[in-house]
Amino acid sequence: MILAGLATGAVVALVAALIPWLPSAASTQARQIDNVYWLVTIICVIIFAIVGGVSIYAVWKFRAPPDDIEDGSPIHGHTGIEIAWTAIPLALVTAITVYSSIVLHQVSVVSKEHGTIQVTTQQFAWSFTYPSLGGVTKGDLVLAVGRPVELELKSLDVIHSFWVPQFRMKQDAVPGITTHIALTPTKIGTYPVICTELCGLGHSSMRAKAIVMSLAEYGKWVRTQKGAAGSVASSTGGAGQGKALFTSAGCNACHTLAAAGASGKVGPDLDKVLQGKSADFIRQSIVDPNAQIAPGFQPNVMPQDFQQKLSSAQLDALVQFLVSATKKG
């Protein structure tokens, strides 16, 4: 009976292993995490098959005929079986614990020659800062294939969680502390960065891209960024800086604005509600969003701390950009 269960379990596990359930693996850490995942899954499938097989067999074999109203024969336990059903799960759970702690340790090790990228999260946007490029900040995560990096995660408001399914690695960004995650991408491509901690109304739209480039392409990208860092500094205070801020401060995650290529749907469409509005109105809408709520929207959805998050020069630049972007045509 148990042999039949084991055989079914083995067949089911084999079929399950042949279907590509998981997204493609694109980091050195992914292989090890997948091994843990499959170890646990195969153990569960085998146990499920044994329990299911024994239950179905028992229902069929020991079924009482309709006219049988006798009590069953008394049973007083079975020491051998009791030892087995205690010892086997204990051994399995211990094996899973030991194996996953080893893998957890291995995937957390940061290689000595790693790059560092600072990840800042806020409702409902990601920004990635590259200290090695003079502090350039981007809305997407750009990585070079085969180069280990350490991400330092910070949150400006509530708990968010960084996850790229193809990298398998996941880490919370918690206000007040810095958390870390190590990654070595192994496949060129573009993957989604997903927030996996319910963080408010715009949680489902809190996405960015992780772009893994070849070394040559990455080198080219680094050179253009170094050039860009200089030109942003020289245009400080202009509408150009305001446009960059619109993305780095996360406005684009919730709002639609054609001039910034933004199509967020959580908050009002800025091309409509700000059209022809004065700089004062726009400034108030940013620093005190509850003062005037656009019809059809709720108060307290938009963060109310942009006055603290942005310097007054940044705020001026953002307002200036929004005025010019929503001028009545």
List residues binding ligand CUA (CB under 6 A): 124, 160, 195, 197-199, 203, 206
Nearer to ligand CUA, 119 or 274 (CB): 119
Minimum distance of ligand CUA from residue 203's CB (angstroms): 4
Match 């292989």 to its residue by tokens. Answer: 31
Position 319, amino acid: V
Nearer to ligand CUA, 206 or 318 (CB): 206
Nearer to ligand CUA, 196 or 304 (CB): 196
Minimum distance of ligand CUA from residue 305's CB (angstroms): 16
Q: Cα–Cα distance between 163 and 192 in angstroms, integer? A: 8
In 10 A of CB 242, how many CB atoms?
Answer: 24
Backbone angles phi, psi at 321, to 5 degrees: -65, -45
CB 250 within 8 A of CB 124: yes
Nearer to ligand CUA, 157 or 217 (CB): 157
Nearer to ligand CUA, 185 or 202 (CB): 202
Q: Cα–Cα distance between 276 and 45 in angstroms, integer? A: 63
Nearer to ligand CUA, 128 or 321 (CB): 128
CA angle 136, 142, 146 (to 5 degrees): 125
Question: Which DSSP letter does residue 304 get?
Answer: S
Please name the helix (run of DSSP H) or strand (run of DSSP E) that holds residue 209, with its range, or none: strand 207-213
Nearer to ligand CUA, 160 or 243 (CB): 160
Minimum distance of ligand CUA from residue 292's CB (angstroms): 26
Minimum distance of ligand CUA from residue 127's CB (angstroms): 13
Minimum distance of ligand CUA from residue 196's CB (angstroms): 7
Burial class of residue 75 in the structure, from the number of CB atoms within 10 Å of its CB (0-12 exposed, 13-18 middle, 19+ buried)? exposed
Going from the C-alpha of 149 to that of each of 11, 112, 139, 146, the distances in angstroms are 40, 10, 17, 9
In 10 A of CB 72, how many CB atoms?
Answer: 8
3-state SS, residue 172: strand
Nearer to ligand CUA, 94 or 178 (CB): 178
Minimum distance of ligand CUA from residue 205's CB (angstroms): 9
Minimum distance of ligand CUA from residue 212's CB (angstroms): 22
Minimum distance of ligand CUA from residue 204's CB (angstroms): 8
Token digits of residue 307: 């006055």
